[in-house]
Structure 1
């Protein structure tokens, strides 16, 4: 689990933006392992911050990353890969995947930290055309009203 909590004014101006903080969210063992590997590799005795994501080179080495640093990192990744992605897209994707795994809307709202369920459902859940078609095809037999006589077909 990860605890999300407001730590007030931070040197990198980061802030928790969700209404329902602090909160705790579950993470996979795989993510926890990757997190611990990152911490053990980059958070050496030279690092004097409790921020997770730090600058690993340059004049401000070991200082917390800020919004511009993260934005620049993702721009660099786009140039190298041709794939446009933002950190916030991971939030949208994770909630969409959980919805596809049949999570109840209320659980999604709580995980997202939203006050209003409509924010979660209207802004963060993005069903694919394929998913919509699959759900329709699964439901279609229940929609057959059988209004035609056999001779009318």
Structure 2
């Protein structure tokens, strides 16, 4: 963590605590990207460290692995039990899924390909060329631009990977969201559920909200804001709890008057915890130590696990984002409006957030059946 501005930087060191220069360069290139998140940097640092450690333990040069060695790494990822989370050994060993192994190996491949582009790099261009192969994009997502001459019709895919079935993305119906609100016993938790459901913001963005971002009156001109109506600002900044908005571009999202009411209820609940008085973060710990400190993702994840157990169905923070974007698309909102609300930089990013409801699928089948009867 920087002593100057508090920003978090991730590095990889060897057994002698010496920086790995090529990993540092790669992680620095990630930070330079427009929509890079500190969470992405943390994840990639851990994956590359895992690859480098595997190379040391198995006695080969990380910069010059054979394709057989890389295949061995991929299979080791699923065969090797995961370390215990606590001091006690797990009753049943835990293993990585093939999808997780593909993601880790993919990060290692991107790292090697990046290193091959550097001057005086130990990674050869020949190795970098073997890591990926071109593949014809037969079924492009809706709105995908293949280019005037079809130059974007092929994509690079990893030459070594597990074949897996990609699971569908889950979302919550309006009725399920209402059930979760009913299951929340604290005003803070009801506000968090409502904020995620109404705004579609990422959980990192919600946990990074500050009280100065909550403009919940009809007019915010007294706060120096010309946006009319109640709304919430999403800004990328460093926060004590590690929460970070994914995109650097700030945005505001309109909300209803009900959010203002829920926020008022939460303020009354929060004011009873004296330790929270000096914290500017909206969502803080009120019911467990450290009191008054910003909520972090692990405790928030446990909160949604408890709500899901009470409600009787799966409910994770990111599912609210899928629900909001799906709702906006069903309502016929223009793509550029949805992109602005969601903080997306491309239309392709929205495709995974489109979900067909049971009724929509039923209506489509009935329409085809009616057409068949008329022939």
Mapped pair 1:95 → 2:320 = no
Deviation of residue 132 (structure 1)?
4.1
The aligned residue for residue 257 of structure 2 is 29
Query: For this pair of structures, how many residues does the alignment match?
Result: 139
Deviation at 1:110, TM superposition (A): 1.3
1: distance between equivalents of 2:312 and 2:337? 34
Q: Does structure 2 conserve the Cα–Cα contact (< 8 Å) formed by 1:39 and 1:52?
A: no
Contact 1:20 1:113 in 2 (8 A): no
| More RCO (CA 8 Å, sep 6+) | 1
Structure 2: unaligned runs, 5 residues or longer: 1-230
Asked whether the 8 Å contact 2:273–2:286 carries over to 1, the reply is no
Which residue pairs with 2:363 in the alignment? 134
> 1:133: Cα distance to partner?
4.3
Q: 1: distance between equivalents of 2:251 and 2:282?
A: 18
In the TM superposition, residue 2 of structure 1 has moved relative to its aligned partner by 0.6
Per the alignment, residue 292 of structure 2 pairs with 62
Q: Would the alpha carbon gap of residues 129 and 64 (structure 1) be closer, same or farther in structure 2, given more than 3 Å must change?
A: same
Cα deviation, residue 135, structure 1: 6.1
* Contact in 2 for aligned 1:20/1:114 (Cα 8 Å): no
Corresponding residue of 2:85: none
Matched, 1:11 2:264: no
Report the aligned-residue RMSD. Answer: 2.4
Question: Aligned in 2, Cα 1:16/1:83: closer, same or farther, shift over 3 Å?
Answer: same
Q: 1:42 aligns with which of 270, 273, 294?
A: 270
The CA deviation at 1:45 is 7.1
Q: d(CA) in 1 for partners of 2:272 and 2:345?
A: 38
* Larger Rg computed on CA atoms: 2
Tell me how far apart the structure 2 counterparts of residues 127 and 101 of structure 1 sit (CA, whole Å). 13
Cα distance change on mapping 1:52 and 1:125 into 2, 3 Å = same
Please tell me whether residue 83 in structure 1 is matched to residue 313 in structure 2: yes
